[in-house]
């Protein structure tokens, strides 16, 4: 008996492509518009039409919410001059997952429905033969589920994932666009805090995003020369950080800069959650304030907290992220042309390759503690909250 052919290698007759759709889901990231621009232009060169779905899949799942239409025809002029813009011209959402759609019953209880078949039907009604789903782990998980549903229900639609997130926590791709922009901004912000920290002899605690991974904190913190960096991968004991600060004080450096990833947690403790959201990932935030208060108590020093938050997601993509977005968008179109489905475009320097969606969404990519970046941080004398530097 032969085993079924894996989804990602199944050939689909791409000679039949006339129209494709693009959706951007999850938190926005600088570089999304570059993907939209490159995919649209590359598709037009092949004679394909392109439509953009508004707000993830909401534009086709709830078209009644869009008086001007839940989809946009992506013409040449619609994508002109957007490559350097932050955000996404299509809009995005991290609510209303169509594979686990929350329905509130009359008694107020919430149940979840899988609306994948309905979504695939709607794509069929729109005459779409291929979908490019640009997103993070959540959106790519949805793309994988849609792909399996399409195969099981004979919906002839190719599904290609494009990885995006400032958090850089997606497996099977060296990097995601948005990350470089976030690190550059965080790094510049931390640089600025040094002079005010030194002038006042204070501890400045900077909280950065990154969800359950410490990529942004580690990269920006080391690049800027922070004195301590706390990340989710290393449960912390603030006594080590306080001791590092006391040692600096004793040597005449009366100020310290501490970078805290929003997902960092003390040994034996929990992450700091701002809000639990029904049907969506919980919102993290607030650990910076806690760390600052505790360090103030432990060292007797004045402390201040800065939360960079969504500033890390806004603004223009760096040249690296722009180029990566353009490369991913064009590679997605080549994948469609080759008849592929169930794959994600991935960066494998110096090239871009295709990996099965299932592998990309299998597990989160955390900061390896033995990576040369971490070893560099340790060699520089940075405290990571688990020992004295
Ligand atoms: O995944 C990107 C990200 O910016 C995380 O770093 C952060 O935890 C989360 O999204 C914030 O989401 P929201 O925009 O819903 O507040």
Q: Is the CB of 283 under 6 A from ligand 1?
A: yes
Domain check: are 90 and 146 in the same one?
yes
Q: Is the CB of 272 under 6 A from ligand 1?
A: no
d(CA 117, CA 135): 20
Instruction: Give the residue, by CA position, lying nearest to ligand 1 atom 2.
Output: 27
Average of per-residue pLDDT across 219-244: 98
Instruction: Please list, in sequence order, all residues whose beta carbon lies within 8 angstroms of the beta carbon of residue 387, skipping any fewer than 6 positions away.
Output: 240
pLDDT tens readout for residues 280-320: 778 999 999 999 999 999 999 999 999 999 999 999 999 99
Domain check: are 225 and 144 in the same one?
no
Average of per-residue pLDDT across 28-38: 98
Average of per-residue pLDDT across 168-172: 95
Domain count for the chain, please give it. 2
Instruction: Cite the active site residues.
Output: 167
Q: By residue range, what is the domain housing residue 103? A: 7-176+317-349
Domain check: are 249 and 160 in the same one?
no
Give buried/exposed letters for 273-295 (b at 16+ CB in 10 A, else e).
eeeeeeebeeebbbbbbbbbebb
Decide if 256 is inside a domain: yes
Domain check: are 92 and 199 in the same one?
no
* 94 Cα to the center of ligand 1, angstroms: 9
- The alpha carbon of residue 107 and the mean position of all alpha carbons in its chain are separated, in whole angstroms, by 35
Decide if 33 is inside a domain: yes
Q: What are phi and psi of 259, to 5 degrees?
A: -105, 130
Decide if 355 is inside a domain: no
List residues bridging with 161 in a β-sheet: 133, 344
Instruction: Give the residue, by CA position, lying nearest to ligand 1 atom 12.
Output: 27
Q: Is the CB of 186 under 6 A from ligand 1?
A: no
Structure pTM? 0.94
| Domain CATH for 335 | 3.40.50.450
Comparing C-alpha atoms, which of 210, 308, 191, 196 is closest to residue 255? 196
- The alpha carbon of residue 328 and the mean position of all alpha carbons in its chain are separated, in whole angstroms, by 15
**What pLDDT is recorded for position 9?**
46
Average of per-residue pLDDT across 119-132: 97
**What pLDDT is recorded for position 13?**
60
pLDDT tens readout for residues 37-95: 999 999 999 999 999 999 999 999 999 999 999 999 999 999 999 999 999 999 999 88
d(CA 309, CA 29): 13
Q: Is the CB of 271 under 6 A from ligand 1?
A: no
* 190 Cα to the center of ligand 1, angstroms: 20
Q: Is the CB of 94 under 6 A from ligand 1?
A: yes
Decide if 18 is inside a domain: yes
* 215 Cα to the center of ligand 1, angstroms: 14
Domain check: are 212 and 159 in the same one?
no
* 27 Cα to the center of ligand 1, angstroms: 6
């Amino acid at each position: 008996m032969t085993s079924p052919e894996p989804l990602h290698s199944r050939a689909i007759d791409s000679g039949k492509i006339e129209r494709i759709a693009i959706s951007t889901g999850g938190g926005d990231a600088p570089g999304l518009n570059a993907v939209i621009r490159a995919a649209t232009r590359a598709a037009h060169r092949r004679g394909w039409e392109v439509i953009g779905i508004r707000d993830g899949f909401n534009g086709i799942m709830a078209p009644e919410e869009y008086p001007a239409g839940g989809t946009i025809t992506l013409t040449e002029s619609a994508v002109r001059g957007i490559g350097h813009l932050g955000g996404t011209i299509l809009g995005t959402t991290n609510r209303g997952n169509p594979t686990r759609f929350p329905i509130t019953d009359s008694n107020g209880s919430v149940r979840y429905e899988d609306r994948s078949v309905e979504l695939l039907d709607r794509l069929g009604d729109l005459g779409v033969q291929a979908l490019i789903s640009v997103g993070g782990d959540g959106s790519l998980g949805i793309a994988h589920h849609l792909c399996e549903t399409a195969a099981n229900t004979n919906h002839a639609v190719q599904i290609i994932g494009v990885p995006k997130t400032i958090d850089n926590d997606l497996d099977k791709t060296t990097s995601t666009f948005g990350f470089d922009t976030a690190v550059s901004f965080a790094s510049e912000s931390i640089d600025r805090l040094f002079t005010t920290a030194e002038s006042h002899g204070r501890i400045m605690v900077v909280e950065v995003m990154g969800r359950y991974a410490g990529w942004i904190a580690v990269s920006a913190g080391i690049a800027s020369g922070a004195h301590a960096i706390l990340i989710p991968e290393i449960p912390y004991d603030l006594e080590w950080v306080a001791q590092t600060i006391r040692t600096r004080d004793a040597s005449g450096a009366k100020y310290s800069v501490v970078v805290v990833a929003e997902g960092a947690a003390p040994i034996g403790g929990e992450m700091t959650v701002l809000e639990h959201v029904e049907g969506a990932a919980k919102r993290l935030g607030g650990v910076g304030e806690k760390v600052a208060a505790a360090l103030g108590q432990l060292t007797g020093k004045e402390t201040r907290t800065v939360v960079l938050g969504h500033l890390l997601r806004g603004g223009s993509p760096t040249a690296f992220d722009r180029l990566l977005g353009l490369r991913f968008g064009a590679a997605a179109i080549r994948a469609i042309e080759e008849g592929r489905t169930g794959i994600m475009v991935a960066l494998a320097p110096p090239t871009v390759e295709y990996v099965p969606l299932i592998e990309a969404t299998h597990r989160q990519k955390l900061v390896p503690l033995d990576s040369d970046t971490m070893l560099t941080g340790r060699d520089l004398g940075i405290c990571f909250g688990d020992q004295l530097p």
